[in-house]
Amino acid sequence: MAKHEHARVAVIGSGFGGLGAAVRLRREGITDFVVLERADSVGGTWRDNSYPGCACDVPSHLYSFSFAPNPDWPRTFSGQRHIRAYLEHVTDTFGIRPHLRLNHEVLRMEWDADALRWEIETNSGSFSAEVVVSATGPLSDPKIPDIPGLSDFPGKVFHSARWDHDYDLTGKRVAMIGTGASAIQIVPAIQPQVRRLTLFQRTPPWVMPRMDRNITGAERRLHRALPFTATLRRGLLWGIRELQVGAFTKHPGELGLVEKLARANIARAVKDPALRAKLTPSYRIGCKRILLSNTYYPAVAQPNVDVVASGLREVRGSTLVGADGSETEVDAIVFGTGFHVTDMPIAPRVIGADGRSLADVWKDGMESLRGATAAGFPNWMTIIGPNTGLGNSSMILMIESQLNYMADYLRQLNVLGGRTALAARPSAVNAWNRKVQARMERTVWKSGGCESWYLDANGRNTTLWPGTTGEFRRETRQVDLSEYEVIRAPRTAPAAASRPSRTKKEAAK
C-alpha cells in the first residue's frame, strides 16, 4: 500500500525559507511537522547554484538567520560553498533532520473542505496536513528561453543553476546568454579558461564595485568571544540598507549619484569607448538589481571576450544568431537567463477550496495577503510570497518576518480551538494589494525605464516590497483576524487525523 503520513504542518522546500520555518516551528513547540524536499539534500538555491564564482552579494553577517549567527563567516560576501554548509549546519543544530522527507517532490496538493486539511501527493508517497507552508522560493526553477533551433545544437547546453561540473570548458568556444547577477559572476570565473567567450547581452546591467574581503581571524575571535559585536555588525549592515530604501521607493532621482559611481566603475576597467558604450545602461540605476563585481568589467575587456549587444535569436547547428544578425560558432552554451519568478512553479499544483489552482487564480498576476496567504486557499501560506522581495537588502530579514506571521497564524488556530481553518478574505487581499501597488508607482522599478523580472507579463511589480524591512516586520508581526474568515469543521465530521485520506474529488465519485 502507498505510504501516507499526516502532520499538523507540511513545509515545502528546504532552502532558507523552509529551514527557517522548520526551526521556528520547533521553537514554537510544534514538532508534528514534515519538510518535503524534492532534492536529496537541503539548501534550495544555494544547493542548486554551484556555478564557478557563485557567491552572495549581500554581506554574510546580514545574509544569515538572526537566531543562528555564524561568527566564522570567512568573507564579507561568502561563497556558495560556505552558505550551503551554513544551511546544513542549521539543519543539524536545530534538530531538523528527523522532519526532512528528501526526494519528495510535491506533485499536487488539494484542500479538503470537509476534513479541513490539505491532501498532498508527492512522488514518494502521500501526506495530509492541517497547514501548508510553501517555501519553494522564487529562484528555484531555471528559465531557458525558447530559442528556435536550440534542440538541434550539437554542443553542450546548460543553465547557470544546473552547472555541469563534468564538462570541461578549457579551450572551448563558449556563449554566455544573459548578463544578470549569475552571469556577471560566471564570466570572470571562466574567461581565463575558455578559448573564446561570447557574451549575449540583451540589456546591460549596472555594476558597482564589490567591497569584498577576508574576515580576519581577529574579527572572528572577537565575534566568538563577544557575540554582541556580531549583532552590532549585523545591525549596522541592516541600518545602512534601510536608509537606502527611500531612494528606490520614493525618490529615484537620488540614484543619479550612484549612477555616476557606476559609470566610473566601467570607465576604470574598460578603455575601449565602443565597448564602454555597449556596457553602459540607458535606464536608471536600481530599476534592475544593482550588481556588485570588481572582476566583471576587467574580464569583459579581455581579448578573448566578445560582447554581442543583443539577445539570442536563433541557433543554426553550432552557430548562434544574435538578434542583431551576428553569427558566432560555439562549442557550449551557458544560459544565465534567470528563473520562473512571476509564474510561481508550484502554483499549478495547488488546488484551492473551489477546485481552482493557484495558477488559475493568479493568471492575471500573483496576489496575496501580507505576502503570505491567498484568498480561496485556507491554511496555506507561502514564504517569500508576492511582493516580499528586496532590491537592496537581505531576504533573510523578510523570511524572518514571515516566520513571525506563520507562528502567530498557528497560535491563532490554537486559540480558536477544535478543527478550524483561516481563509484570507478577498476584500483584505484586495485592500493589501491596492496599497502595495499604489506605492509601487513611485518606485524606480516602475519608473526607471527598464524591463525586469520584477515585473509580470502585465507590467505589474508582484515581486518586490515597496518599503523598508522594518515596515514589513511591523505589518507581519501578528495575524489580524478581521482579515480572515474562520472556518469550522462540521461537528459530525470524524477527526481529521483518523479519517482515511480522501480528496474532494474522490468524495464526489
> Which residues here bind ligand NAP, judged by CB under 6 A?
55-57, 139, 145, 160, 177-183, 200, 202-203, 289, 311-312, 336-339, 453
Closer residue to ligand NAP, CB minimum distance, 180 or 448: 180
Pairing between β-strand 484-488 and β-strand 420-424 as defined by DSSP bridges? antiparallel
Phi-psi label, residue 188: left if phi above 0, alpha if psi -120 to 50, beta otherwise:
alpha
Report, in Å, the least distance between residue 177 CB and ligand NAP: 5
Closer residue to ligand NAP, CB minimum distance, 145 or 449: 145
Report, in Å, the least distance between residue 445 CB and ligand NAP: 12
Closer residue to ligand NAP, CB minimum distance, 62 or 496: 62
Question: Angle 80-93/16-27 helices, nearest 10 degrees?
Answer: 20
How many alpha carbons fall within 13 Å on the CB side of residue 360? 11
Closer residue to ligand NAP, CB minimum distance, 100 or 333: 333
Report, in Å, the least distance between residue 376 CB and ligand NAP: 29
Closer residue to ligand NAP, CB minimum distance, 365 or 391: 391
Cell numbers found for residue 63: 545574509
Computed from CA positions of residues 482, 484, 490, 493, in that sequence, does the dihedral angle turn out positive or negative? negative
Count of other CB atoms within 10 angstroms of residue 234: 20
Count of other CB atoms within 10 angstroms of residue 427: 10
Q: Angle at the Cα of 87 (from 81 to 90), degrees rounded to 5?
A: 140
Closer residue to ligand NAP, CB minimum distance, 35 or 175: 175
CB 8 within 8 A of CB 413: no
**Residue 385: which H helix or E strand, with range?**
none
Report, in Å, the least distance between residue 181 CB and ligand NAP: 4
Q: Which residue has the cell 538589481?
A: 289
How many alpha carbons fall within 13 Å on the CB side of residue 234? 22
Report, in Å, the least distance between residue 351 CB and ligand NAP: 29
Phi-psi label, residue 83: left if phi above 0, alpha if psi -120 to 50, beta otherwise:
alpha
Q: Which residue is nearest to ligand NAP (CB)?
A: 180
Report, in Å, the least distance between residue 160 CB and ligand NAP: 6
Closer residue to ligand NAP, CB minimum distance, 56 or 321: 56
* Burial degree of 134 (CB within 10 A; 0-12, 13-18, 19+): buried
Closer residue to ligand NAP, CB minimum distance, 118 or 339: 339
Cell numbers found for residue 485: 474568515
* Burial degree of 367 (CB within 10 A; 0-12, 13-18, 19+): buried
* Burial degree of 334 (CB within 10 A; 0-12, 13-18, 19+): buried
Report, in Å, the least distance between residue 322 CB and ligand NAP: 9
Closer residue to ligand NAP, CB minimum distance, 249 or 342: 342
Report, in Å, the least distance between residue 306 CB and ligand NAP: 14
Closer residue to ligand NAP, CB minimum distance, 322 or 378: 322
Report, in Å, the least distance between residue 83 CB and ligand NAP: 9
Coil vs helix vs strand at 245: helix
Report, in Å, the least distance between residue 15 CB and ligand NAP: 12
Residue 132 CA: distances (Å) to CA of 45, 159, 161, 219: 21, 30, 27, 41
Report, in Å, the least distance between residue 182 CB and ligand NAP: 4
Closer residue to ligand NAP, CB minimum distance, 49 or 373: 49
